[in-house]
Each structure stands twice: as C-alpha cells, then as structure tokens.
C-alpha cells in the first residue's frame, strides 16, 4: 500500500467513527421518544401527568401556527440574552476593578465569598419588591446568578497571567493600565470565554426561576401555569422549546468563542 492509500484509509476510519457516534446519538433520542410514546399509550405511565411526544409535538405545532407562542418566546429570550450580557460584562468589569486595586480586592473578599455561596434564587422576593413584578426583576435574576461566578473566575484568571509579561511591559515604562490592556486582558481571554459558556446555562436558570416567581409571560410562566392547571403537555412543550433554544444559544457562543480567539488582538 502506498502513502496515499494509507492516508485514505485513515480518513475513512475517521468518517466511520463519526457515523457510529451520530447513529448512536440518534438511536438514543428515537428510543427515548418511542418508549415515552408507547408507555403513555399503554398506560405504563399516567398520560395525564407525563403527556406523550405526539401531544407535545401537536401542541407546539398549533402554538406556532396560531402564533400564540411567539410573545412568550420573545420575552424569555430577551430576558435571557440581556441577563447573560450584563452578567458577563458586569463580572468582567468588577474583576477589573478588583485587579486594579489589591486593597479593594482584599476588602471585598469576604463579601464575594458570602455572595457566591448564597443561593441567588433566594433573593427573588427582594428583587421583586425592589424592581417591581416585571421583566426588570427577571433580568436582574439572570444577572446576579451569573455575575459573581464570572467575577471570581475572571479575577483569578487575571492573577494567573505570567508576571513576566508585565515585566516586559514595565521595562518599556508601561503604566498599570497599559499592562492590563496589552497583557492581562488578552491573556485572560480564554478564561473569559469559558465563563461565557457557563453563563449561558446560568442566565437561563435565573430567567426561568424569575418567571416562576412573577411573570405573566414567558416560557417559565407557561411551565408554572401548565403545572397549576394540570396541563402537563404545556409543561413538556415549554421544556422542549427551552432545551432547543438553550442549545442554539450555546452553539452561537461557541462560534463567538472561536471568532474571539482568532481576533483577540483587536
């Protein structure tokens, strides 16, 4: 066999592996849906509680067809994206402030520890009282749930940057701010990007819980409403939509990640 053939065989191996993984992934999904459907039809599980894939799909189709889902979709997506963005940016800004003054970081340390350990969801009632029972408090929920983690992760990433990069810049007479801009910030970029991924999940948690507590609209509201009126098909449909949206958002952040890594010197 010559080199070319060996290489082709290797490529075919790669393709085969990819196919095997994909077919298993599909099999699991199909099996899950099939078992759910059969179990529901044969009354192994209570169809009133656990609904069935066919009912979920038909509900989603009608909801999309008559357009009644869009206002819910819109508001939840809006809240999640805003919560995600200001949570991430806010966290990076706070981390920058902590880095710029060692004393400030020392002073803030116990507050950060407590706030990080605290279940942020427990602050819900206070947020609602402070910001009113609207989308503001829901965004605030998405924000506080991601901001502290971001702060801590990014701050430690700033501190782990090799001090010799700063030394190089200092030998050129760089100010502390220039050191931050030229070395610390770009070097911590991968850590910041990995917090983006975590924050996608966290801001969904914050927003859905926020909607449980107050809202008159949104996917979280649909879940809690479906629960209250015992319409579990609605609950399941909302969950499916959330899963799909969260997945898409995660993939988009992954794309953003690749772009940022490639262009981090801008």
* Cβ 110 to another protein shortest distance, Å: 19
Cα-based torsion angle of the residue sequence 182, 185, 188, 191 in order, rounded to the nearest 10 degrees: -150
172 binds another protein (CB under 8 A): yes
* Cβ 16 to another protein shortest distance, Å: 33
**CB under 8 A: which stretch of 22-30, 89-97, 179-187, 200-208 binds another protein?**
179-187
CB 219 within 8 A of CB 159: no
Q: Which two tokens stand for residue 163?
A: 């001090």
* CA separation for the pair 121, 143 (Å, rounded): 11
Exactly one of 59, 144, 169, 207 binds another protein (CB under 8 A); that residue is 169
170 binds another protein (CB under 8 A): yes
Q: Which two tokens stand for residue 265?
A: 């010197």
* Cβ 170 to another protein shortest distance, Å: 5
Of residues 182 and 231, the one with the C-beta less far from another protein: 182
* CA separation for the pair 173, 163 (Å, rounded): 15
260 binds another protein (CB under 8 A): no
228 binds another protein (CB under 8 A): no
Exactly one of 186, 197, 239, 254 binds another protein (CB under 8 A); that residue is 186
Q: Which two tokens stand for residue 89?
A: 């940016």
Cα 51 to the chain's mean position, in Å? 27
CB 246 within 8 A of CB 205: no
Of residues 41 and 258, the one with the C-beta less far from another protein: 258
* CA separation for the pair 139, 211 (Å, rounded): 10
183 binds another protein (CB under 8 A): yes
55 binds another protein (CB under 8 A): no
The residue with tokens 């700033």 is 158
> Residue 188 has what DSSP assignment?
T
* Cβ 168 to another protein shortest distance, Å: 5
**Number of chain residues interacting with another protein (CB under 8 A):** 19
257 binds another protein (CB under 8 A): no
């Amino acid at each position: 066999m010559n080199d070319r053939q060996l290489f082709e065989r290797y490529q075919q191996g790669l393709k085969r592996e990819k196919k095997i993984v994909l077919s298993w992934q599909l099999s699991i999904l199909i099996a899950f849906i099939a078992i759910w459907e059969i179990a529901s039809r044969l009354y192994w599980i209570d169809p009133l509680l656990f609904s069935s894939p066919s009912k979920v799909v038909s509900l989603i189709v009608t909801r999309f067809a008559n357009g009644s889902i869009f206002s819910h979709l819109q508001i939840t997506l809006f809240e999640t994206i805003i919560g995600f963005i200001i949570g991430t940016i806010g966290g990076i800004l706070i981390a920058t402030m902590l880095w710029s003054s060692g004393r400030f970081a020392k002073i803030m340390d116990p507050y950060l520890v407590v706030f990080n350990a605290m279940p942020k969801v427990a602050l819900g009632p206070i947020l609602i009282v402070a910001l009113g029972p609207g989308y503001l408090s829901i965004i605030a929920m998405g924000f506080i749930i991601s901001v502290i983690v971001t702060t801590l992760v990014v701050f430690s990433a700033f501190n782990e940057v090799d001090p010799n990069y700063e030394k190089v810049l200092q030998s050129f007479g760089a100010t502390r701010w220039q050191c931050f801009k030229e070395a610390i910030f770009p070097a911590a970029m991968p850590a910041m990007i990995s917090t983006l991924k975590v924050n996608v999940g966290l801001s969904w948690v914050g927003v859905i819980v926020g909607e449980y507590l107050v809202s008159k609209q949104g996917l979280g509201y649909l879940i809690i409403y479906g629960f209250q009126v015992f319409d579990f098909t609605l609950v399941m449909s909302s969950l499916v939509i959330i899963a799909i949206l969260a997945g898409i958002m995660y993939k988009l952040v992954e794309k953003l990640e690749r772009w940022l890594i490639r262009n981090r010197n801008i």
